[in-house]
Amino acid sequence: MRPSSSPSDGLLSGLSGTPDVDAELGDPALLRALLDGEAALARAGADAGVLPGSAADAIVARCRPERYDPVALGRAADAAGNPVVPLVRELTAAVPAPARPWVHLGATSQDILDTALSLVAVRALGPLLRHLDAAVDAAARLAATHRDTVLVGRTLGQQAAPTTFGLKAAGWSTGLAQARDRLRQAGAGQPAQLGGAVGTLAALGPAGPRVAERFAARLGLPASPLPWHTCRQPRLDLTAALGAALAATGKVALDVGLLAQTEIGEVAEGGTGRGGSSAMPHKRNPVDSILIGAAARRGPGLVATLFGAVVQEHERSAGGWHAEWEPLCELLHLAGGAAGRCARLLAGLQVRPERMRANLDATGGLVLAEAVAARLAPAVGRSAAHDLVTRAAAAPSFRAALLADPEIRAHLSEAQLDEALDPHRWLGSAGPLVDRALAAVRGAGR
């Protein structure tokens, strides 16, 4: 039986992840990160003079993932409650006898596993952030292309007033960019962990702080001023940022799925051969929107688990820390899949301006009722103008009712009414807002 590998390596899990992110999350990736931690610990100890350089060389030489079976380590982990204990046992047995006393010197299991999960997160965030970059760029291109493409804005599930598809896409781009930037910042703040049994670094003597600094530097992770065994703020930052990324991609997916409904038909997902049905030959389902939406719905429960686990007792937690491991990896998996699918969705999105205009016109100008009332208000007051237009809106033909109402015609000519019923004249600052959003997105640091 082959060992387990990527979270995407399954009948269902591939529908929520993406291979490049998941390659950094599976058992082989975690095992590599654990061994990277042990190797860095040995090198850091040698840097600080607390163990011989020859011992560090011997330990590092045996920190190769192919020497160890993650399935066997996982089974052995049950006896100690984490996989570091059996891994250290096997690593110690693998090194020459003179180096064995120096394996895992000064560390506790949590130090290595916390550090490994920081490495896993940082490595997974590389491709994840590239997907978010691509999604931001694709949404920005849609916003620029359709800056002035009118469509009906919808509030509370109903047609409301004209807006532009460019403004909608600019909102997607801005939300994705904010989530990306927050996630990048959280990833950069995932520190190494080294404190020993109770956070005093006692086993390393006076050199403890120096070893901790060198340990972090060897791994390319930030050093923490103190061990953070039960102070989980870095993980909370990452958790919140991953939840925000799922929310931003989920927003895009929800909008696209609604706009792609048959009765609306203002957009469609691209991709030849995608969206088929096993029963209905005519179906072309918005599968990327569906799968992104599924990931976004799973995210809050995982975020809640991680936030619920964060209040931890004394110097080391009994259960709270353990509760973090799998939900954190699952969040990375889901956010990676959502980001990758969102980038693909936006890059291939088919936009149908003619359908947008037809839907805007479907109510015979009712979505411009606010514009008519605004033209009428200087003459009769806002409240009276609202009441007059509301009365006309109840008629079978809105325009005909406006033209037939003597109180309205006393103040507005037919030409003025037609101007008020032109959606292009009631877009407010939509165009400049798109421009501002694009300038902000394109000017953001990558």
Question: 54, 277, 397, 413: which is the annotated catalytic residue?
Answer: 277
Whether 43 sits among the annotated catalytic residues: the reply is no
Which residues have a Cβ under 8 Å from the Cβ of 291 and sit 6 or more positions away? 15, 16, 337, 338, 341
Residue type, 431: G
Question: What is the Cα 258 distance to its own chain's centre?
Answer: 21
Closest CA to 111 of 75, 91, 74, 82: 82
CA atoms of 273 and 84, how far apart (whole Å): 45
Q: What are the E-state strand segments in 327-428?
A: 350-351
Q: Three-state SS for 326?
A: helix
Determine contact, residues 342/137, Cβ cutoff 8 Å.
Answer: no
Rounded Cα distance, 380 and 27, in Å:
72
Residue 277 annotated in active site:
yes
Q: Give me the catalytic one of 316, 341, 344, 352.
A: 316
Two tokens at 12? 């269902």
**The three-state (H, E, C) secondary structure of 180-193, written as one string:** HHHHHHHHHCCCCC
* Positive or negative: CA dihedral 231, 237, 243, 246: negative
- The residues carrying an active-site annotation are 277, 316
